[in-house]
Chains A and B, each alone.
Chain A
Amino acid sequence: MTVFVFLLSLLSFALSILAVDVKGSIKWNELCPDVRTLGSAQAILDHGYYKGSIIFDGSFTMYLQFLVLFHSSSSISRPNVSHGVYILSIVSHDHVFDQLRIDVHETGYFVRPYSVGTALNPPSTIIMPEIALLARATHSYYMPPQSFNLMGMLGSPMVLLFIFGGGMVLAMPYLMNNMDPEMMKEFRESQAKASQLQSAMASGDLRAGFSALMAEEPPAAAPAPPGVPKTRSGPKNRRR
């Protein structure tokens, strides 16, 4: 009895070969202006069971054929029932193209955007009107040559720092010698303050360090000998 019911249910179905032509095109842009630039390329569905060459005008056609099980009852045999989800890719040597999702049904197909590696289920809600692909990028295989550039080398911060440091080492004794004695004194004072702060920091006595920095004169500095007028500037005395 079960076998009979099974046979009856089989009889109510019929196998049919459906053919759907998936047509699309590559729209030329500045990255890929013509078929000559594109070179030999193909549009493939999934892993390449269905393929179509990109012809001179950028168009391609893939001829899909598959078996469909129809039910004799028209209520079940209805159009727009998906018979396969495919991912359309362009196999090109030098150019990068987007991938698309193609949902094929009995009378045609839907085109949806698809991003590599994303899940097929649930599908995107965006339906594209046609298969039109643009070259998104051109592969750049080479590393730019690294030629020797003297100015570039001299202009690098490390080299500049090195040159400046070296220059300072050389120039410092001369600068010190040519400095006004008062300025020299001030410089030494400020240096002493800085070193005091540094040592205070190191010993953890921050307060003493800051007070030393804020003080008019370093406490350690000897007071000016009495009777010696406090000169503010020396240049006029130094002028000869």
Chain B
Amino acid sequence: MRIAKFFGISLAVLVSIAPIGASAQRSGAKTPLKTVIARSDVRELPADQQIIQALSRLSFGAKPGDILKVRAIGLDNWIDQQLHPEKINDDALNSFVANYSALNQDQNDLLRQYAEQQRERREVKRERADTTKPLTADEIAQMRQLQQQANSRRQVVTQLQSSRVARAVASERQLQEVMTDFWENHFNIYAAKGAPEPYYIVDFDQNVIRPNALGKFRDLLEAVAKSPAMLFYLDNARSMADSTQPTLRDPNQLQRVRPVPFGRGGFGAIMRTANEMQRQQQQQQQQQQQRQRQGLNENYGRELLELHTLGVDGGYTQQDVINVARAFTGWTIKPPAQGGGFVFRPQVHDAGEKVVLGHKLRAGRGMEDAEDVLDILAKSPATAHFISFKLARRFVSDSPSKALVDHAARVYLRTDGDIREVVRSIITSPEFFSQQAFRSKVKSPFEVVVSAMRALNAPPDTSPRTAQVIAYLGQPIFGHQAPNGWPETGESWMNTGAILNRINFGMAAAAGRLPGVDIRDLPALDTIRSAPREKQVDAVVAAILNGMVSPDTRAVLLSGEHPMLGAGSGNIPPLSGLPQILGLALGSPEFQRH
């Protein structure tokens, strides 16, 4: 049953209101393109529902008072503000985020420390291996310290997860947060891939995704391609030219170092020593490179084409996958002891000629190979279409119309992959403000929890608790192992088990089991604690569900009975009165949609 049916808004009313809502948009930039497309730009939704729609999709849900705020500054102005996060003051959040101790240290320093710890641990193990003596106090202390260091690595992930939730809950730059969520799923990283990944992901979140979330797709793509997080996750850091291919500095040439003549004393002797040392060094380097030159790894090359840019039907071949992987050989990570940043190693770069998607990359070049590949991919109409489709699916509906996606893809190509403009075209489109799109998306677990925190006016918290709740609901942050990321459509989140968990989440939130949640922060509810049940239901529906509720859900809220609720028997007492209504509202189907 569609929710809209219950609200008693006839289509006639909608049509009569629609032109008012649309006027602002129509007075905007009229490009020749629009007249060619001949798409209707009438906003179907009445003005207030347009605001609800925008707040649900461009933010993680309305906080109390948000609707009034947006109405006051004008919806189109608010959207424009959100598209320019750099102009929105977010000092309060920034000073809050400063509380995360592990995130505010230099991650390269942490990585160096980690490398040092690993070395120490190996030493301790070696020393202990050949002795049966009981541990000395010093050794015990040392081992304890090592254990603490391992814990601190886990803490990096925990704090990053917590900060992702806190930012989504409290940032004024809501669209920026939504886009961060979108891109971190598009460019999925798995925190448990291996020991250094936690440090890499902090950099990924702070310096790779966030600064580029509304920038040019080409810049974002390169930042991701160079990020240690991705280089490690999809194994490109270990991919090297096959032994059959030339590299930039052919190790064989090193052998042609001219021997230094012997027998000249004094200065000559010193020269010889220096030269011999150099030669020795070169030989060592050479041996090391031979050892290192293991060959190609296609993992990143394939997912770059399939998941990051062209899409699986984007018209590439297995040979393209191989050649993209060859172009990216040498794009790797410095050792943890050196801070682990991006580095290009010409000596393992495949310098042979390659053809990628019909473009020839001539032989003998270095980093330019992969730079060109990124250019080719970022400019491809297939990429424009794939990115537009995913954005339209995120913002408008699980199955966006071809017209909308095509339109957005044209904007992508016209603006040289300007994400801000592609997003703008989607979120100001008539489809975005259509009856069909309104409340048609099912929230992901992340969206459910964050929108509940926002609806309840809860302050962000630094504890791992809220992120744990999201994980419990099925979406651990940076916890998706496969590179395709979490499902972006509602289908995947809907089954009885999930509904049950969401109902229980609502009850737990209302029972004060979420940090920071306190009904006293909700003036609209705090004042009706002793009102009759029906009044309380009305107030909760107005405050939490934007006044929209089906007769079924209303009946549940009034009676306090739902087949999935049993007698409370655990350590959370059964709720009654206002908290119970609130909990049931948070678990209702209406709250799961947006």
| A interacts with B | no
Binding site for A on B (CB under 8 A): none
